[in-house]
Amino acid sequence: MRLLIAFALVLGLAGLAYLAGRARGNRMVTAAGGRMGAVHSRPVYHGAYVAVLALAPALIVLAGWGIVGEGLIEGQVLGSLSAAERPAPGNDSEALLNEVRGLVNGDLPQAFNPLAPRLAPVYAAARSNGDLLAGALAVALLAMGGLWGWSRLRPDFRARNRVETQVRALLLVASVVAILTTFGIVLSLIFESIRFFQLVSPVEFLTGLQWSPQTAIRADQVGSTGAFGAVPLFWGTIFIGAIIAMAVAIPLGLMSAIYLTQYADPRVRKWLKPILELLAGVPTVVYGFFAALTIAPLVRSFAVALGMTNASSDSALAAGLVMGVMIIPFVSSMADDALAAVPRAMRDGSLAMGATPSETVKKVLVPAALPGIMGGVLLAVSRAIGETMIVVMAAGLAANLTANPFSSVTTVTTQIVALLTGDQEFDSAKTLSAFALGLVLFVMTLILNIYALAVVKRYREAYE
């Protein structure tokens, strides 16, 4: 809120800077008798140049304060306590600071910790001092930047080119933000995974066959000690995402792509293709409840009819089938592109030899498009193994190492959800294992994606 007000103020001042720059540009044009070309850049560029020089440093200061400010305030607040009173760093300090913050903001009528009411004024003072300081610094820099830019304006000043450079810098920053975010996510995954691997050996994690992450929270609690062998999860993920789902998606996706590219009347294609692509737009949670409420009972009755009287209502098959349907558009649109990229001359050559359309598809088009189709399938697999909602709702939580499609299995994503929902100590092996699972999943999909893109790219080059 405070930050929002500061932002609004800074933006308003930058708007003034823009007007001032533009006005000066206009005056220069008038002074030059209004001749085109007498002033290098149009007045709007003068305005924009001044505004950007004013805005950029102020925004950096405010953003910086928004990021590190809270930490500085907290340090100051805790520093005001004597060493004896100071709570241990970590959870205790966090709890105290939360109460202090609650008191200052008025969210909390009364605090439990007797230290909190004492610290509240310290916190409030530190915060308002900090805000004031940051705000003042931002406005000062804004004024300096704006004035400096304003003072540089001359009829021959190349404001247009400068603004172009500024725009480029802005675009660069935007793309760097996305990259840095990804990088940060990966780093946090790695750090938390390292903490996990200090508690559980990577060998056990990657090769163990037993997954039961329930660890005792209190020392006197009865219960398991926890087993972190993730193989059943990896198997469940592959079983559902790479085997059952692909058994549905590859034939259906490929055949619909063949129909659409080779057989369908252009008018039919115009309708069918968007409808097929609509499948990709259905929210996965909708697929999830479709799997859980419609398909899973059907699969179960089928299993019972087959004589498996104890068939569970969660099954790998139900989740895999629905996931396969969800993945069809990925496979079919990649296969569609790949088939369409095979030169028409290839198809004509085969037809002119007396091949029927389906012989042509089978013997020439699909083999020629195979790398592209493979790429699509790999991307679909990586999408399927990262998919969460369907398996959470339909596959179950039991970490069975089984190839029976009617039994319940669990996947990496389902377990991550299960591990992180509910109350948990943040540094228990159970919670940390979610990060290790996430890391494995990330590495798997990354490898699949890189490989798939390389395959597709090599294929594209083959037909220039």
Partner 1 sequence: MNQNPAIGHNTVPKMTARDVNVFYGQKQAIKNVSIDVSAEHVTAFIGPSGCGKSTFLRCLNRMNDTVDGARVEGRIELDGQDVYASGMDVVQLRARVGMVFQKPNPFPKSIYENVAYGPRLHGLARSKTDMDEIVESALKRAGLWDEAKDRLNESGTAMSGGQQQRLCIARAIAVDPEVILMDEPCSALDPIATARIEELIDELRGRYAIVIVTHNMQQAARVSQKTAFFHLGTLVEYDDTSSIFTNPKATRTKDYITGRYG
Site string for partner 1, 325-344 (x = CB under 8 A): ------------------x-
Burial code of 358-368, b = ≥16 C-beta within 10 A, e = fewer?
A: eebbeebbbeb
Site string for partner 1, 94-113 (x = CB under 8 A): --------------------
Enter the tokens of residue 291: 């799997």
In the complex, minimum distance from the CB of residue 370 to partner 1, in angstroms, rounded to a whole number: 10
Q: Which is nearer to partner 1, 308 or 370 (CB)?
A: 370
Q: Between vectors from CA 320 to CA 315 and to CA 324, what angle results, nearest 5°?
A: 160
Q: Which is nearer to partner 1, 167 or 462 (CB)?
A: 462
Enter the tokens of residue 319: 């989740």
- Candidates 329, 322, 338; CA nearest to 274 is 329
Percent of the chain as helix, strand, coil, to the nearest 5: 75, 0, 25
Which residue type does 85 have?
E
- How many residues bind partner 1, per CB under 8 A? 20
Q: Name 227's bridge partners.
A: 212
| From 274, 310, 345, 464, residue interacting with partner 1 (rule: CB under 8 A) | 345
Q: Using the rule CB under 8 A, give the single segment among 157-165, 182-190, 234-242, 363-371 that binds partner 1.
A: 363-371
Q: Is 355 in the site for partner 1 (CB under 8 A)?
A: yes
Enter the tokens of residue 223: 């219960």
Q: Using the rule CB under 8 A, give the single segment among 31-39, 100-108, 285-293, 360-368 that binds partner 1.
A: 360-368
Enter the tokens of residue 107: 């969210």
CB atoms within 10 A of CB 332: 30
Q: Which is nearer to partner 1, 34 or 266 (CB)?
A: 266
Q: Which is nearer to partner 1, 90 or 343 (CB)?
A: 343
Distance of CA 186 to the CA centre of its chain: 11
| From 120, 295, 368, 455, residue interacting with partner 1 (rule: CB under 8 A) | 368
> d(Cα 50, Cα 56) in Å, to the nearest integer?
10
Q: Using the rule CB under 8 A, give the single segment among 13-21, 40-48, 359-367, 435-443 that binds partner 1.
A: 359-367
Q: Is 348 in the site for partner 1 (CB under 8 A)?
A: yes
Q: Is 263 in the site for partner 1 (CB under 8 A)?
A: no
- Which residues have a Cβ under 8 Å from the Cβ of 406 and sit 6 or more positions away? 299, 300, 303, 306, 308, 311, 312, 315, 316, 317
Q: Is 279 in the site for partner 1 (CB under 8 A)?
A: no
Q: Is 268 in the site for partner 1 (CB under 8 A)?
A: no
What SS3 state is found at 228? strand
Q: Is 3 in the site for partner 1 (CB under 8 A)?
A: no
Q: Is 352 in the site for partner 1 (CB under 8 A)?
A: yes
Phi–psi pair at 370, nearest 5 degrees: -55, -45
| Positions that interact with partner 1 (CB under 8 A) | 266, 343, 345-356, 359, 363-364, 367-368, 462
